[in-house]
Structures are given as C-alpha cells and as structure tokens.
C-alpha cells in the first residue's frame, strides 16, 4: 500500500484471531494516552491484565515496539512483556531475554549539550536522555515547535546522528535499526515465525513498522486522525485499541 494512497478514515480491523497472529504494539497514543511529560504515563491494571492475557493466548507472540527506553517499558507495563523493541528499534529484547543494542554514537554528548541549552528557553521544553538517543519534547511549549525542529535538524547534520521526527518531539538517535527492522527480526525467530503480523501505532515514527508488516503479509492499524499512511486499518483512540484487543480470541 502506498503511503500517499489514503488520507480518509480507515475501516476498523476485524477482531484478532490469536492462533494466527503475531502482535506488535506501540505504547504512547496506542496503549496509553499522551501525557504532558513522558514520566507521567504510569502502570494501569486493566492494560497490564489485558496484555498478560494476550501474551498467553498468543503463546509469546506479542512484542512492544516503541520509542521509549526498555526501562520505561518495563515500568509502564510492570515487567510483564519480554519481547520489546525500544528506542524506535535500536534496543531489542528477544523472547529468550537476550538484549541487542548498539554502542551509543560519539555525537550524543554534543547533541545533549545543544538541546539542553535550547531547553532553558521554556520550562515546558524537556530533554529526555535515552542511552542510544536523546529526545527534545515540546508538547508543553508549542510556540517553540518550529525553532526546536530547526535546532534538531542542525544538530543532526553537525553530529551525524539520525533525526527521528515525532508528534511534538524531535529525537537524535544513534544510526541503526528502525521499528520496521525490529519487527522483521522478531518475525524471523520463534515464536513469531509463520504467523500473520499486525502492528498498532499512531505516529509517523510507526510508518516503517506498518510498511514492514504489510510486506510480511500482515497489516498495520493507525490510531488517531486519518492521514497518509501504510496502515490498512484505523482506530480512533486508545480506548478503541483496548476494546479491540479485549475482543481478540
């Protein structure tokens, strides 16, 4: 499916058949509503119990694919999900618990310093250090959005870091695997092999994941307002995602 092919509302996906599926889920804007600060997203008993049931029904074929750090994923999901692709795919923990992550890029220190200097302009600008990347959040300071994007782009050019655009966030990453790459890696290993992949996400950072599952014979589910996307289906919000997951059998 072409990225430019759809800008209208997508149909909702049919209930997921657990015996046939491999499921990949984003967190922010998908499993949890956006919060003013990344640390404000907290564990939720309903979500945790649902993910535990899904993981059991899928026989381990459930992975969280997110821009958050691995520690943050384990905090929010209470350590219930083993398979995780964190920091937009740079850090991956497999079904066997083995951790795969790159050496941090040498340009990260300079990037952090530059973003911190920019952040002193407004208390709503947050610099989040994520090991292999550093993120500049400006959801609470939207008047600085244009300037933040310029600073991030210039810093990426100066340091050689990869610039990851997001919803009111710009992230400078160690070059390496993407969300789509991590989904492909999971699908080549047990217990994911031989099943139909589905990826649920909301942001432009999820597009290479949508493209990956489409290429592997599966489908993407876009959460939120319609836009150009590789996803085949759509859900309106986090509550719709939870309801769809609860209907899986």
54-106 pLDDT, tens digit per residue, is 999 999 999 999 999 999 999 999 999 999 999 999 999 999 999 999 999 99
* Beta bridge partner(s), residue 23: 62, 198
User: How confident is the prediction for the chain on average, in pLDDT?
Assistant: 95
The residues annotated as belonging to the active site are 26
For 212, the token pair is 């990956």
What's the pLDDT tens digit per position in 156-185? 999 999 999 988 999 999 999 999 999 999
Distances in whole angstroms, Cα of residue 143 to Cα of each of 146, 199, 218: 8, 33, 39
Which domains occur in the chain, in start order? 21-101+176-246 (3.40.50.1000), 108-173 (3.30.70.1020)
Residues 187, 92 contacting (CB under 8 angstroms):
no
Q: What confidence category does residue 4 fall into, taking pLDDT thresholds of 50, 70 and 90?
A: very low
Q: What confidence category does residue 136 fall into, taking pLDDT thresholds of 50, 70 and 90?
A: very high
Residue 2, pLDDT > 80, answer no
Q: What confidence category does residue 9 fall into, taking pLDDT thresholds of 50, 70 and 90?
A: confident
Residue 1, pLDDT > 60, answer no
pLDDT score recorded for residue 167:
87
Q: What confidence category does residue 36 fall into, taking pLDDT thresholds of 50, 70 and 90?
A: confident
What's the pLDDT tens digit per position in 195-222? 999 999 999 999 999 999 999 999 999 9
Q: What letter would DSSP give residue 191?
A: T
Q: What letter would DSSP give residue 87?
A: G
């Amino acid at each position: 499916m072409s990225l430019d092919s759809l800008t209208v509302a997508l149909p909702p996906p049919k209930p997921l058949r657990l015996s046939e599926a491999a499921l990949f889920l984003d967190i922010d804007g998908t499993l949890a509503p956006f919060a003013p600060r990344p640390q404000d997203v907290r564990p939720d008993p309903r979500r945790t119990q649902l993910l535990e049931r899904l993981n059991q029904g899928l026989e381990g074929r459930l992975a969280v694919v997110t821009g958050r750090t691995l520690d943050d994923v384990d905090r929010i999901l209470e350590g219930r999900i083993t398979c995780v692709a964190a920091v937009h795919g740079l850090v991956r923990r497999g079904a066997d618990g083995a951790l795969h992550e790159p050496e941090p890029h040498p340009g990260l220190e300079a990037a952090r310093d530059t973003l911190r200097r920019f952040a002193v302009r407004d208390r709503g600008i947050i610099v989040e250090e994520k090991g292999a990347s550093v993120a500049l959040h400006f959801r609470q300071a939207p008047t600085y959005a244009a300037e933040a994007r310029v600073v991030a782009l210039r810093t990426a050019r100066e340091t050689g870091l990869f610039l990851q655009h997001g919803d009111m966030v710009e992230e400078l990453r160690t070059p390496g695997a993407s969300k789509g790459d991590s989904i492909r890696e999971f699908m080549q290993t047990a217990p994911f092999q031989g099943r139909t992949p589905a990826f649920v996400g909301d942001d432009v950072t999820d597009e290479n994941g949508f493209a990956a599952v489409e290429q592997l014979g599966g489908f993407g589910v876009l959460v939120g307002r319609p836009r150009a996307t590789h996803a085949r289906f759509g859900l309106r919000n986090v509550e719709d995602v939870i309801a769809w997951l609860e209907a899986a059998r």
